[in-house]
């Protein structure tokens, strides 16, 4: 490998709050909000909480609810896309709405489906609208509960206390009990009540200034919102949203103590949360980040790279695709060639990755490495068009690992490539000057080693081999009937096995089961 820049990424251990700011940045992209939404909602939430005399751990919970309220919402994104089309567009359209006002919500759904299918003939567009209306009930039945369950599992992995975890499960709850789950009044965690209200205040203030906020408080007090908090908003007046911070350093300074730092296993675990948050967006992506990380680390060892570089590659690989959440799931699920417009939007995900990770000052060098995974040595990659002179040995290994992992996974428009074909494609990329020869050969070598028969580890939670197989297929997005067909079983038998899996692993939704499968390495590459 020729001499190239090393771009060292060693830095002080990041603060926990820094990494949560990165996750919040991913969430606001996935929800279609502006780049300062999480920053401002955190500031407004803290002002409102302090005015309501919240303190201690409750104040800390407000801080993190404002940042992480939507960490479960990337689950089932492809299912949402099959109903509503552009998921991010739908979230933008419904964010200002009272979700209990069915007529307004249905109208927004229809508009979103029309916009997604703009340019298509009338009959396919009408069929898409009919399909969306017929299946819209899934949102309350299983999609919203799945979001809550995934959020709670991720929250536990991040080490939050049980009051905070309970709040993550109340994302769609309302003061009047007409939300999901159907709890009401003081059963809603104080941090949830504050963050919900603060974020809606910001959305309506952007749209119509303080008069819009006043109208919102009068309309939804005692319905969606805690009436005492709504009254406090009116008492505070425009000062509540005045002089909001313009940078993340100000918000990090607001974090109630303790100010924890992450390193070693704790940092690895937190970065794995970001990886799973990203990959759960689509069954085509489940487990991709972890597979890239395994290949990159093994290749680095094979090449004799320093241990620090191997660890850096592990972290970068886990989060290299977190920017995918800023591209709506219907684009990733498209079964044919993308339009130029959609291709341009798709390629932005690498830029989003860099922007998300750069919110943590200690991760900015890692952000450049992770965000450059689609660059190529001849300058033909994206987003920066960087050539060989700007790509370090680690960057070259990461690029090769991503290519090999992706080729071995199915995509909506193709099945996975067989190993022999993967070797041919990668070698051609090397000959064309796009991938580094040494890095590519190291990745291919360790990928071949990984395919050798190995002793299977014990299955978690007392799962039988068949139940683990069923869980793996469920995580790939298959219905019970499709799993039965895949495994040569009866749908009723699979249904019983799915319920047994749920009981053993302690989940109640497909999204929760999918995350468990990801956490425990039970998801085979999409095929």
- pTM of structure: 0.93
Confidence class for position 526, pLDDT limits 50, 70, 90: confident
Do 13-245 and 265-450 agree at the fold level?
Answer: yes
* Tens-place pLDDT, residues 109-158: 999 999 999 999 999 999 999 999 999 999 999 999 999 999 999 999 99
Q: What letter does residue 361 receive in the DSSP assignment? A: G
Mean pLDDT, rounded, for 58-82: 97
Residue 396 has pLDDT above 70, yes or no: yes
Question: What whole-number percentage of the chain has pLDDT above 70?
Answer: 96
List the one residue out of 35, 29, 126 whose CA is nearest residue 324: 29
Q: Which residues have C-beta within 8 Å of that of residue 310, sequence separation ≥ 6?
A: 297, 300, 301
Phi, then psi, of 360 in degrees rounded to 5: -95, 110
* Tens-place pLDDT, residues 322-346: 999 999 999 999 998 899 999 999 9
Q: What share of the chain is helix, strand, coil (3-state, %, to 5)?
A: 65, 0, 35
Check residue 12 and give its pLDDT: 80
Rounded Cα distance, 131 and 125, in Å: 10
Domain 265-450: give its CATH architecture.
Orthogonal Bundle (1.10)
The answer to whether 307 and 59 have CB atoms below 8 angstroms apart is no
Kindly report the CATH number that applies to the domain delimited by 460-519: 1.10.10.10
Residue 469 has pLDDT above 90, yes or no: yes
Check residue 527 and give its pLDDT: 75
Residue 349 has pLDDT above 70, yes or no: yes
- Of 525 and 79, more confident: 79
Would you kindly state where each structural domain of the chain is located, as residue ranges?
A: 13-245, 265-450, 460-519
Check residue 19 and give its pLDDT: 97
Rounded Cα distance, 207 and 96, in Å: 9
Q: Which residues have C-beta within 8 Å of that of residue 453, sequence separation ≥ 6?
A: none
* Tens-place pLDDT, residues 153-201: 999 999 999 999 999 999 999 999 999 999 999 999 999 999 999 999 9
As a dihedral over the C-alpha atoms of residue 446, residue 451, residue 453, residue 458, rounded to 10 degrees, the angle is 90
Rounded Cα distance, 428 and 406, in Å: 16
Confidence class for position 455, pLDDT limits 50, 70, 90: low
Rounded Cα distance, 272 and 186, in Å: 34
- Of 477 and 452, more confident: 477
Mean pLDDT, rounded, for 292-305: 97
Confidence class for position 1, pLDDT limits 50, 70, 90: very low
Question: What whole-number percentage of the chain has pLDDT above 90?
Answer: 94
Check residue 457 and give its pLDDT: 75
The answer to whether 511 and 150 have CB atoms below 8 angstroms apart is yes
Residue 5 has pLDDT above 90, yes or no: no
Mean pLDDT, rounded, for 460-472: 96
What class is the 13-245 domain? mainly alpha
Measured CA angle at 328 (ends 126, 374), to 5 deg: 140
Residue 265 has pLDDT above 80, yes or no: yes
């Amino acid at each position: 490998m020729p001499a190239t820049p090393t771009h060292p990424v060693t830095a002080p251990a990041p603060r926990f709050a820094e990494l949560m700011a990165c996750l919040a940045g991913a969430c606001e992209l996935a929800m279609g909000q502006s780049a300062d939404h999480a920053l401002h909602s955190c500031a407004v939430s803290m002002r409102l909480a302090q005015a309501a005399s919240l303190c201690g751990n409750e104040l800390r919970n407000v801080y993190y609810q404002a940042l992480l309220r939507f960490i479960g919402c990337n689950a089932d994104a492809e299912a949402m896309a099959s109903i509503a089309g552009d998921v991010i567009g739908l979230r933008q359209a419904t964010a200002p709405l009272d979700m209990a006002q069915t007529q307004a919500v249905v109208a927004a759904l229809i508009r979103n489906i029309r916009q997604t299918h703009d340019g298509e003939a009338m009959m396919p567009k009408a069929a898409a609208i009919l399909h969306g209306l017929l299946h819209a009930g899934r949102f309350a039945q299983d999609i919203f509960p799945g979001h809550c369950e995934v959020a709670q599992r991720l929250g536990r992995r991040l080490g939050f206390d049980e009051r905070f975890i309970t709040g993550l499960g109340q994302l769609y709850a309302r003061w009047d009990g007409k939300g999901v789950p159907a709890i009401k009044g003081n059963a809603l965690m104080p941090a949830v009540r504050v963050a919900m209200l603060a974020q809606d205040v910001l959305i309506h203030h952007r749209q119509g200034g303080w008069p819009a906020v006043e109208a919102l408080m009068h309309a939804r007090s005692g319905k969606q919102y805690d009436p005492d908090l709504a009254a406090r908003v009116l008492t505070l007046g425009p000062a509540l949203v005045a002089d909001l911070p313009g940078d993340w350093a100000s918000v990090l300074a607001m974090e109630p103590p303790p100010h924890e730092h992450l390193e070693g296993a704790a940092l690895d675990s937190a970065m794995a949360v970001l990886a799973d948050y990203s990959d759960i967006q689509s069954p085509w992506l489940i487990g991709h980040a972890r597979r890239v990380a395994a290949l990159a680390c093994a290749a680095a060892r094979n090449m004799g790279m320093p241990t620090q570089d191997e660890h850096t590659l592990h972290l970068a690989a886990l989060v290299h695709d977190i920017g995918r959440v800023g591209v709506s799931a219907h684009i990733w699920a498209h079964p044919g060639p993308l339009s130029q417009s959609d291709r341009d939007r798709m390629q932005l995900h690498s830029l989003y990755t860099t922007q998300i990770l750069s919110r943590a000052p200690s991760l900015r060098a890692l952000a450049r490495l992770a965000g450059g995974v689609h660059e190529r040595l001849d300058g033909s990659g994206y987003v920066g068009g960087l050539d060989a002179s700007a790509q370090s040995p680690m960057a070259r290994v990461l690029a090769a690992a991503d290519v090999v992992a992706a080729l071995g996974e199915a995509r909506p428009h193709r099945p996975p490539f067989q190993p022999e074909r993967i070797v041919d494609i990668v070698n051609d990329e090397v000959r064309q000057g796009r991938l580094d020869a040494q890095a590519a050969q190291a990745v291919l070598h360790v990928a071949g080693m990984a395919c050798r028969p190995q002793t299977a580890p014990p299955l978690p939670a007392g799962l039988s081999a068949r139940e683990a197989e069923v869980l793996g297929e469920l995580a790939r997005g298959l219905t019970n009937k499709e799993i039965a067909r895949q495994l040569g079983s009866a749908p009723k038998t699979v249904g019983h096995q799915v319920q047994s899996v749920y009981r053993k692993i302690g989940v109640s939704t497909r999204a929760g089961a999918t995350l468990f499968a990801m956490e425990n390495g039970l998801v085979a590459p999409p095929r």
